[in-house]
Structure 1
Amino acid sequence: MGMKKLFIFLGLFLLVSFQSAAQEILPAPQMVLPVDCEIGWNCWIANYVDHDKSEGAADYTCGHETYDKHKGTDFLIRNRREMLGGVSVRAAADGVVLGVRDGMKDIDYRKRKMDFIAKKECGNGIRIKHENGWVTQYCHLRKNSVKVKKGEKVHMGDIIGFVGNSGFTMYPHLHFQVEYIEPKSGARSGAIVDPFVGVARNDLCGVGDKPLWPPLVMEKLDYKQASIIDSGFAATQPKLDGIVEGLYDDETLSIRSPQLILWARILHVKKGDKVTFTIFDPEEKEIFSYTSTIDKDQAHRSLHAGLRSPGILWDEGAYRGEVKLLRPTDGTNGGIYTSEATIYMR
């Protein structure tokens, strides 16, 4: 998310600016996952906090699943259909609401004039003050979903809104941001803290000594170099807007369909990755296979491949598709990522 402020101007200082004084930082509250979803199944971390103070970008692992000056953790959900169904946003810890905004439309910012979101990049959002100077912020909530008001007390796990697509964002997700403000300073903004790191760590790369996520939450948040977040079948060439809307999630297609197209939506592809699409007929016989080589690094990519109808009608039954991303290893990185989809031709 490319956000600047909600109701309180945010400081430009990253974690490293106060690591040397970590012993003076008051304890942070333990935090629950702020979005009601299962990581790796129906939501994914699309971006982490940027730790690089230059014009480059580096996440807490020294990887590149972030972008310059990104101040939070982005939890991406599958599509707008699931957004409209309602994905709850929860208070990460006990606290008092400092400010809210609601009423902004859920729309890809590229489809609007920037004037509409100027100084409102967070979109519909909530800012909560916790004990000992800690503050959390929740951005891009769904229009008219904010359930709290300024001054209201909230408890850890309370539903405070729903994931949306408001403000400076392309796809439905929650931007979750943590700050520390020295309680006696009287400041309204503070230092950005990465919940995967906390306020100190011994190593330049990796999880901090005391991350803000408790162990049970950390177990669910394994760092993924790439993720196939969605896949499925379509009877015609799928468009990204349609995939994001959830228009290609049907469980059946007509046996009269002109084509059978297998598609996938992938996070954090790298140049040189090989993505293979394979389709099997109802007898589990391979009827199609195609491999595409990624030509550049991209945070988000949709791909598809398929075949035309072999005759007037397709054979009835269940067709299975497999999408496999192969990342060549360089000694430290690499791996295989897969996703499957099934469609019934009737």
Structure 2
Amino acid sequence: MIRSAAALTLALATSAGAFELGLPIACTLGEDCHIQNHFDRDPGPGMADLACGHLTYNGHDGTDFALDDLAAMQAGVPVLASAPGRVTGVRDGMADIAISDPAAPPLEGRDCGNGVVIDHGNGWQTQYCHLKRGSIAVRSGDQVDTGAQLGLVGLSGNTEFPHVHIAVRKDGVALDPFAPDAATPACGAPIDGQLWATPIAYDPFGFTGAGFATAVPEWQAIKDGLPSPATLPTDTPALVFWATYFGPKQGDTLTLTITGPGGEVFRQDVAIDRTQAVAFRAGGKRTPPGGWPAGDYRGEAVLTRNGAELGRQSATLTLQ
């Protein structure tokens, strides 16, 4: 669901000495979007986000606000100006296609894809990347306010998933909007000192979707926005529950369960064997002879790290 730009405008850039940012995307963090990658705080060949975590990659100079799937991108999610200023650069016309797709054209230095640059005065600048082709709504020289629509989230440039990458610069130097004054990772993910007008909590992990299927789905189908059926026949070939998530870390435990009218019918505890940016897992059972009992079923995924629960996601289904 797309919220209005007015409802999602979080703040205006303030007077001299202070610079504040609103969200660069019309979504609700934790509901229909999430932060996939943070600014890389490691000055060397390694990588570390502001919490010394792995939600970044070497040399990443911005913050990636990601949509949950390609279906959300196709529906159209606005990219918003995070502060008032003058548009100083625009590029449009690049295709929306994952960089790993064999049909993707060469970037030729256009890693940002379709994008917009805004000058906010006093040396502050923001850049918005990977917008949808044909969606750019501003031109160079335009004056924009906080929350003004710049375009739509897309898949252009050097990217594998639909998102807007926002880079923040002061006097030409890229800064982490979560900790602009810190030279090294804070490791505690501080709230104080952020450029975000409404501080954003660091989220090390999150579920981005879940649903039922009659077989283990293909990863591409999930990335496309696989819908979960509301009903299925009791003689469906199998009952499978799947979940997608970002930020899994080696050593985590993912638990998948399915419960029905008679109680628990499936449970699987999965030891996460490698750290990843995004992943999915599915599990279930073949339909027993005579079919499943009619009624309501619930699938649930829970991830724990060092004994603490980091998130859970569920879906429901009626067999009839």
Q: Is the 8 A contact 2:52 2:185 kept in 1?
A: no
CA shift at 1:208, angstroms?
Answer: 7.2
Match of 2:174 among 178, 187, 192: 192
Contact 1:78 1:229 in 2 (8 A): yes
1:204–1:278 CA distance, 2 compared to 1 (3 A): closer
**What CA distance in whole angstroms lies between the structure 1 residues aligned with 2:272 and 2:206?**
15
Compared CA separation, residues 88 and 317, structure 1 to 2 (3 A): farther
1:22 maps to which residue?
Answer: none
> Residue 164 of structure 2 aligns to which amino acid in structure 1?
L
Following superposition of structure 1 onto structure 2, how do residues 50-65 of structure 1 map, counting pairs within 5 Å?
Answer: 50-65=40-55
1:5-39: per-residue Cα shift (whole Å, max 9, x none)? xxxxxxxxxxxxxxxxxxxxx73432111111111
Q: Which residue of 1 aligns with 2:297?
A: 319
Aligned to 1:40: 30
Match of 1:79 among 54, 69, 73: 69
- Check conservation: 1:262, 1:321, Cα contact below 8 A: yes
Give the % identical residues: 38
- Corresponding position of 1:210: 193
Kindly provide the CA deviation profile for residues 77-119 of structure 1, in whole angstroms up to 9, marking residues without a partner as x: 1111111111111100101111111222222110036652231
Distance 1:200 1:56, change over 3 A: closer
User: What does the per-residue CA deviation read over 1:201-235, in whole Å, with 9 as the maximum and x for residues that have no partner?
Assistant: 89944437532112xx21xx221221111111111
Structure 1 residue runs of 4+, over 6 Å off? none
CA distance in 1, matches of 2:231, 2:252: 31
Deviations 1:295-334 (A, max 9, x none): 11111111111111123543333311010111125xxxx5
Question: For residue 259 of structure 2, what is the amino acid of its counterpart?
Answer: F
The residue correspondences of 1:292-303 to structure 2 (distance < 5 A) are: 292-303=270-281
In the alignment, the residues of structure 2 paired with residue 166 and residue 255 of structure 1 have an alpha-carbon distance, to the nearest angstrom, of 43
Report what 2:10 is aligned to: none
1:187 alignment partner in structure 2: none
Mark the CA change 1:80 to 1:192 in structure 2 (over 3 Å): closer, same or farther.
same
Cross-structure match for 1:223: 202
- 2:313 matched residue in structure 1: 339
Q: Is the 8 A contact 1:136 1:178 kept in 2?
A: yes
Report if the CA contact (8 A) 1:47-1:66 is conserved.
yes
Asked if the contact 1:49–1:70 (Cα under 8 Å) also holds between the matched residues in 2, the reply is yes
Query: For each residue in 1:129-159, what CA deviation from the matched residue of structure 2 results, as whole angstroms up to 9, or x when unmatched?
Result: 1121111111111121111111111110111
SS of the residue aligned with 1:318? strand
Residue type at the aligned position of 1:213: W
Q: From the superposition, tell whether residues 142 and 249 of structure 1 become closer, same or farther in structure 2 (CA, over 3 Å).
A: farther
Deviation at 1:344, TM superposition (A): 2.7
Q: What is the CA RMSD across the aligned residues, in angstroms?
A: 2.0
CA contact (8 A) 1:43 1:78 kept: yes
Q: Which amino acid aligns with 2:167?
A: Q
Contact conserved, 1:50 with 1:58, CA < 8 A, in 2? yes
> How much does 1:271 deviate?
1.2
Distance 2:37 2:226 in 1: 25
| Contact 2:50 2:185 survives alignment (8 Å) | no
Amino acid at match of 1:120: R
Asked if 2 retains the 8 angstrom alpha-carbon contact of 1:109 and 1:170, the reply is: yes
Task: Report if aligned partners of 1:28, 1:132 keep a CA contact under 8 Å in 2.
Answer: no
2:283 counterpart letter in structure 1: A
Alignment correspondent of 1:20:
none
Indicate the residue corresponding to 1:155 in structure 2. Answer: 145
Q: Which TM-score applies when normalising by structure 2?
A: 0.89
The one-letter code sitting in structure 1 at the alignment partner of 2:317 is: I
User: Quick one: structure 1 residues 251 and 125, their matched pair in 2 at CA, closer, same or farther if it must change by over 3 Å?
Assistant: farther
Change (3 A) 1:66 1:202: closer
Work out which of the residue numbers 20, 23, 29 in structure 1 matches 2:19: 29
Q: Report the counterpart of residue 275 of structure 1 in structure 2.
A: 254
After superposition, the C-alpha distances for 1:173-228 in whole angstroms (9 at most, x for unaligned) are 111110112xxxxxxxx1111111123589944437532112xx21xx22122111
Give the match for residue 289 of structure 1.
Answer: 267
Partner SS for 1:109 = coil
The total of aligned residue pairs comes to 304
